[in-house]
Structure 1
Amino acid sequence: MSNLRADWAHRPTHRRIWALAAPMIVSNVTVPLVTLTDSIVAGHLPHASQLAAVAVGGAIYQLPVFLCGFLRMGTVGFSAQACGRGDGDAMRRILLQALLLSLALAAIQLLAAVPLLQPILRMMDPTADLGGLGAAYLHVRLAGLPAALASYALAGWFLGAQNARVTVQILILTNLANIALNLLFVLGFGWGVRGIALASVIGEWGGCLFGLSRIASQLRRFPGHLHPRRLLYWAHWRPLLGVNRDILLRSVALEGVFFALTTLGARLGGPIVAANALLLNGLLLTSFALDGLANAVESVAGHAIGARQGDTLRRAMVVAGGWSLGGSLLFAATFALGGHLFVDLQTDIAAVRQVAYVYLPYLALLPMIAFPSYLFDGLFVGATRAREMRNAMVVAALAFVVAALLLRPLGNHGLWVALLVFMGVRGGAMAWTARRIARSPHGWLGQPSSA
């Protein structure tokens, strides 16, 4: 207990954690603003089909982009560990590998979009107007895909290099440019659905080009050389690709749980699925805030492992864990005391409001149960322990399935309890794995996946 108090009292660790976490939290807030602006702008167009086209096209575009989030998470740990070792050669190699991988994935997805785009739109059973507008939106929107994926790689690399400022600048520039151009192109120039898509594309390329422009100044801190011939050998690709593969599988399992939650809720009726969606926005807000602390842990943990500083790693987990606990209690109290207002701000439909009120206690419990999984995500990403993170997610997803089946007679209450079980098992499995690794002969400093 005395060690915990001493670690918590270490002021330099508090300053270091918040120097990374605070800008990430601020930048995370801009993410929902983009979706909100798209909806508001599209909602003021003359026809409902235009709003629907933006919603459908955006959902189709965001799915592959979300699944490629491993480009950021998979790069942070390797970059942070190379930074901790002061290895300038590795910093250059990791950056080039991440960018090449992002461009390869973008090329594959763009080639696949040509034959698959129309069948996907037809599968969603749109009207003729919606199908045509959705295709028009996507034809423009896909031009930003290479920039979006490259920005993931750049954001992860800069965060691992202890430069959260550039990571935040990339995200904020991308999102604010999107918002401003949305208003200009649609409300000013009257370009409609294509204008909304073009604003997103320019925002993505603007953020990407800004990130690329900051590489040279960052590398001056790490003298070294790029050895392109090393990229011809599989041994230099295997660790990065292995980590990215496991993070992708973990993301698929996570997305599957929330897709199942929505699908099963839809079978219980429209007001229930609508109420669940509103309440899950509360979980989204919680994750935006606590993910900022997890992002800080990714960077500090990876740097500490690379520099072989076990005390730094331990202090970072204690400090970030304490702030995460405090943040989760704050969100829990907010939803418990102000949950009705949170629901009312999102809808004025009486039937949906009444249903949402019933399930507010589950939303109040979620932050306290979910925060350990966010915290440990940061540790496992920084340590490039993606396999263990993937396994914990799969176990938690299976627990959700079992709980949802067993609690099916309870209706929507059963779904919410199953979600609580999922979050609890996810955090518990990661905590158990973290403890097992800490007690192993080499502990967390014995890095199995080093690039």
Structure 2
Amino acid sequence: MSSSSCVRQFTRNPVRSFFMLWVPVLFSMVAEPLTGLVDTAFVARLGSEQLAALGIGTVVLTSGLWLFNFLAVGSQTEVSQAGGRNDFDRAKRFGSLAIFLAAAIGLCMALLVSSTASEITALMGGSGRLQEYSVAYIRLRALGGPAVLVTMASFGILYGLADMRSPLLVAVCVNTMNILLDWLLIFGIGPFPSMGVEGAALASSISQWVGAVWCLARIKKQLGFTTRVTTDDVRKLMSIGRDMFVRTGSLILFLLLATRSATRLGADAGAAHQAIRQVWIFTNLFLDASAVTAQSVVGYFFGSGSFVRAKQVAKLVSVISFMIGCVLLAVMAAGTTLAGAILVPASGLVLFAPAWMVSAMVQPIAALAFVTDGIHWGTGDFVFLRNVVVLATCCGSLAIVIMDMLGVTSLTAIWWITGAWVFIRAVLGVLRLWPGTARSPLNRAPVMEG
């Protein structure tokens, strides 16, 4: 779908056009976690040490790469706004810059992680055979680091062009290839050698490079590349990177503190928390799809000067996202017993159920937090989003520290604190739009309609 058709769709039938954009984004996001489950199932057949090595390697690489998600978010905002102004020269410059930085950062990360794999795995608690498997996995998986960041930036560019279908096609095909290569390389089928956990790493790296090349071909066809990047473009992306780096780091910090606090409550609490967190990550995909859709459409209208329409779109996507959150709440509440039976041992059920219900009740609030993130990304309000997450993380972290100091041993309390952390983000995100503040880009902008 082109940017212009996106505008026509939202003008004529906004709800239908929202879901036409939202559904492909959702499925492209779901593809990778499903592949991760298949990876886990295959490697689990090799033994506990290999599975633990997969866990260490995945955490190390995923956390490191997630810090550079500004390449996707920043390029999506700039490309969508440039598309709204029909300034495709700027979109091409910014997209080319994002791709170059993604490749450069990815290469540096691959070299750094490969050369320090032994030290990293030791810090993660690996030793003996476990460390050997972890080092081997990380070094082969790191080969795909540049490809992961290039694909990340490419998805942002394509989303900025309102092309949600290309990332979906790439995600589905690449992850299908990953699963097939897993089967061939882990166990050694036919002429392929049996590589064990190293086969899982190599399968991921090969698939990621295929996806990166495919994305570059799509961008070349739709937008093209250029070497005529200006210093203003570089400063803009670096500014976005600074704000997003701090924001993402704050998110990771709070989640790590919450997980550590739950783990210290005992094995049953740690297992229950992990189960809820995994479902939370899955439900977040539905909410993140709303954020990506909002960012693209609001960014387009904001860039075109149609600020009234941008606010109308912001209201619409917020209402729809809130309704999606309510559906998730209902599904989680109805599935409490089933989820407990599947996800946690019997000894952890008494801790699981109340914490699960709190996480379910937070879903509509989280929906508003996510969608307003997308709206503010669309207007380029990165400093505000950085400050909000830093504030929420300070409050949430302080609450967890106080809880630990007081000796409170309640997993449910940790999830209430997590809910408050999300609530702060949601409330401030909504207030920035309605009634709005003087510094909000949508309120500062002159009223024009394109």
**Same-fold status (TM-score > 0.5):** yes
On the 8 A contact 1:282/1:363 being kept in 2, the answer is no
Which deviations, in whole Å up to 9, do the C-alpha atoms of 1:328-385 show, x marking residues without a partner?
A: 11111112221121222224x2112332123222122120221111011111111121
- How far apart, in 2, do the equivalents of 1:50 and 1:407 lie? 36
Which deviations, in whole Å up to 9, do the C-alpha atoms of 1:19-57 show, x marking residues without a partner?
A: 211101112221211211111000111x32111111111
Local SS of the residue matching 2:372: helix
Which deviations, in whole Å up to 9, do the C-alpha atoms of 1:412-431 show, x marking residues without a partner?
A: 23212211110101111222
On the 8 A contact 1:185/1:196 being kept in 2, the answer is yes
Q: CA deviation at 1:133?
A: 1.1
- How far apart, in 1, do the equivalents of 2:441 and 2:283 lie? 34
The residue that corresponds to 1:411 in the other structure is: 409
The residue that corresponds to 2:420 in the other structure is: 421
Moved more, 383-392 or 163-172: 163-172
Local SS of the residue matching 1:162: coil
The residue that corresponds to 2:382 in the other structure is: 386
Judged with a 3 Å threshold, the aligned counterparts in structure 2 of structure 1 residues 170 and 381 are, in CA distance, closer, same or farther, namely: farther
The residue that corresponds to 1:372 in the other structure is: 368
2:301 matches 1:304: yes
Ranked by relative contact order (alpha carbons within 8 Å, sequence separation 6 or more), the top structure is 1
Q: CA deviation at 1:442?
A: 6.6
Q: CA deviation at 1:132?
A: 1.0
**1:278 equivalent among 275, 279, 290:** 275
The residue that corresponds to 2:213 in the other structure is: 209
The residue that corresponds to 1:128 in the other structure is: 128
**1:257 equivalent among 254, 277, 280:** 254
Q: CA deviation at 1:134?
A: 0.9
Matches within 5 A, 1:97-176: 97-176=97-176
- How far apart, in 2, do the equivalents of 1:14 and 1:442 lie? 25
Matched residue count = 430
Matches within 5 A, 1:21-420: 21-45=22-46, 47-187=47-187, 188=189, 189=192, 190-219=194-223, 226=226, 228-231=227-230, 233=231, 235-347=232-344, 349-408=345-404, 409=406, 410-412=408-410, 413-420=412-419
Moved more, 53-62 or 253-262: 53-62
Which deviations, in whole Å up to 9, do the C-alpha atoms of 1:391-448 show, x marking residues without a partner?
A: 000011011023224444442232122111101011112223334756559735749x
Which deviations, in whole Å up to 9, do the C-alpha atoms of 1:209-253 show, x marking residues without a partner?
A: 111111232128xxxx94x3443x3x2311111012111111110
Amino acid at match of 2:364: M
On the 8 A contact 2:322/2:364 being kept in 1, the answer is yes
Judged with a 3 Å threshold, the aligned counterparts in structure 2 of structure 1 residues 422 and 97 are, in CA distance, closer, same or farther, namely: same
- How far apart, in 2, do the equivalents of 1:139 and 1:210 lie? 24
Task: Structure 1 unaligned segments of length 5 or more: list them.
Answer: 1-8
Which deviations, in whole Å up to 9, do the C-alpha atoms of 1:263-294 show, x marking residues without a partner?
A: 11111111101101111223212211111111
Identity %: 25
Judged with a 3 Å threshold, the aligned counterparts in structure 2 of structure 1 residues 294 and 88 are, in CA distance, closer, same or farther, namely: same
- How far apart, in 1, do the equivalents of 2:317 and 2:12 lie? 12
Local SS of the residue matching 2:380: coil
Amino acid at match of 1:425: I
Amino acid at match of 1:159: Y
On the 8 A contact 2:329/2:361 being kept in 1, the answer is yes
Local SS of the residue matching 1:163: coil
- How far apart, in 2, do the equivalents of 1:28 and 1:101 lie? 23
Local SS of the residue matching 1:214: helix
C-alpha RMSD of matched pairs (Å): 2.1
Judged with a 3 Å threshold, the aligned counterparts in structure 2 of structure 1 residues 314 and 441 are, in CA distance, closer, same or farther, namely: closer
- How far apart, in 2, do the equivalents of 1:164 and 1:333 lie? 28
**TM-score of the aligned structures, taking structure 1 as reference length:** 0.90
- How far apart, in 2, do the equivalents of 1:415 and 1:215 lie? 44
Deviation >6 Å, runs of 4+: none
On the 8 A contact 2:311/2:442 being kept in 1, the answer is no
On the 8 A contact 2:76/2:296 being kept in 1, the answer is yes
Which deviations, in whole Å up to 9, do the C-alpha atoms of 1:117-170 show, x marking residues without a partner?
A: 211111223231111111111111111011000001100001001111112223
- How far apart, in 1, do the equivalents of 2:173 and 2:69 lie? 19
**TM-score of the aligned structures, taking structure 2 as reference length:** 0.90
